[in-house]
Structure 1
Amino acid sequence: MHLTPQPPARPASALPPGWTRAPLSDIADVNPPRPLQRGSNAPFVDMAAVDGLLPRLRSVTERAFPGSGARFQNGDVLLARISPSLENGKTAIVDALSPGEVGFGSTELTVLGPRRATAAYLYYLLKWDAVRGPLIARRVGTSGRLRVPTAAWDEISVALPPLAEQDRITAILGAVDASLAAAQALAAQLHTLRAALVRDTFTRPCIQQRGDQLFSLGGGHPFSAITPDPAGDTLFLKVDDLAHPDNRRSIHTAAARFQACTHPGIRVHPPGHLVFPKRGGAIAKNRVRVLAHPAAVDPNLMVLAPRRALHPHAFAEALQFRGLATFADDAGIPQINFKHLYPVRFAVPPLEAQRALHETLTALDARIHTEHARQEALLALRSSLLSDLLTGRRRPAPTVPEPPPQPPMS
């Protein structure tokens, strides 16, 4: 399948030959009747099972039908009608049921039965910002419980190509989604491998030592104690800095800097020390980072200075493997203090094993980053193709049938 050269510009309102314009309610039945007996066991789909990126259901379970809820069959398209699931792109094609079987799901799903569009074409229409945006804009209800009203399906019109061209369009978009699914699957495998390597390193038999034998801990200073200087030679870290994309494993940047030489009373921690949240909800995010640049920290962060038996990056993985929340005192506001870490016994694999883990994880993380970048590029490509193909600005060329084989020459 390939795209024809772009045709000469035409008025924005003009449609390609053979295309028509119709409201969404004319190309699909909205919540069509699907018979299902109350109390009967049937396939069930909850909102979490509706994918936000790809036209798939992540899982289908079985439940007794309570008498209410969205009902669907193979070939229907499901769309979340409530915030924030609608904004998050939750849309799927139903294709996992047995022939003639009817399933049900959350009342917050709209079921669309394709009428003048194929299921795949309808799915991609609903993924397109030019359709999803107006649906979102028409939501009604209270804040946090906004829903798409039934009238919206009559009010939003779309351009509709003939069925044969719909198939050609969705073949192109489906190929992009197949690549996206492959990239997702590979990234998931790499994450699984990464977790297995960390688990194996820190659960195999090895010596155990108390925290106070392995590291020392330090606290921070209030932001008011420094004079910020964008050209400063020292970072001043706050909790939000741990989430910066450039600080995924090591701390390279921060929103604030200062000159250490003009602040002799501020403790500056050298590269190789670990930083993590010590209070509040940030503990649950389980972010442990290693300083790659001299830094001071605010009082909501704790700094861990590893001794010679620990490789900094390997021990950061060990803390995340165990989970920061497991060390916290949760009497009201979660907190991690010196008393929560010093008495704890930690596995201490041989330093060579820790170094090997760090090197392997560094290579794995680079590959994972590549796969995530590939996903972002594919999503950008899909967005561009949706705009071009669903408006007819670019049109896939009809498939030319192969000529029949010629009989051999006598």
Structure 2
Amino acid sequence: MPRPIEARIDLAALRHNYLLAQRRARVGNPAAQAWAVIKANAYGHGLLRAAGALADLADGFALLDLADAVSLREAGIRQPMLLLEGFFEPADLEICAQYRLTVVVHRLEQLLMLGRAVLPAALPIYLKLNTGMNRLGLSDDELPAAWREIERASTIGPVTLMSHFAEADGTERERCIDWQLQRFARMIEGCAAAAGLPVSLANSAAILRYARTAGAWVRPGIMLYGGSPFADESAAQLGLAPVMTLRSRIIAVQHVEAGERVGYGGTFVARQPTRVGIVACGYADGYPRHAGTGTPILVAGERTQTLGRVSMDMLACDLSELPTVGVDAPVVLWGEGMPADEVAAAAGTISYELFCALARRVPLVVV
């Protein structure tokens, strides 16, 4: 019998969440289209699996790796594809043209590479502007030189303007995006050639909270997988459905007296007699090791909490209030009935990390 742990991937939930992103974007712009962001192996859900589930819905797919884009094309995916970090060397460009990819350009050197390339077709580009995230993107000072390169390069096709919000998930609402929108507008005003070009700004948080940011294209990421981008609003409140449910079972029960410790380092000390359930899931499965006592967990459909330090292959939970629950009881670590956002918050992280960290050794069950 295999070890009793699995991750259930609900493709109907993925489709539901994508359609929700589309609908919310079109509140702000009825013509808005949505890139399904499937980078990082579709946030741990499976690149080909996610793309296949959305193949008849998605306006396009956004990802990072050139090899992943090629694999999707060869699997029959025909929608536009956007490489979010663009290309890294001149040799990439011929492949991008061959497979009809759109590339993000975020530095002048990339434009110079494009200008020198000999390609069978011009490449559509997303010109990324740095409006305050200070991660990728061209500055005010670099824009004039960038436009000169764009205007003289026959290898550059249609241009879309792009930026990325740093604080769209913040609690101060409009202020969180206004300062970047203002910078974006100033940058465009300072460059006549940029006027009237299509725009892509909105991530999951902006799609859900700021309809006015929906340009020609939006870029839903975490919301596709049923995670909330907000600390003050749950996925369920936003109408999102969990796509990944990590499930296991109780494999042992210990009876611990007051004063006894549980787990490595003895970080949990029982204050009273305690029933402790041992779950077949640990950090080698992708559960966060830094999730301490009190992290929520669902056992036999009832909420309880973890106890002590997470081990490589096991963790402990409190069964004191669940006297009829014993060995073989079902456990949900996150997903259906136990929001990943709650688990992540208790562990001092975000649901993105939980999903992406799912270990390869965990069997997948696809619905």
Query: TM-score scaled by structure 1?
Result: 0.22
Query: TM-score scaled by structure 2?
Result: 0.24
Q: Which has the higher Rg, Structure 1 or Structure 2?
A: 1
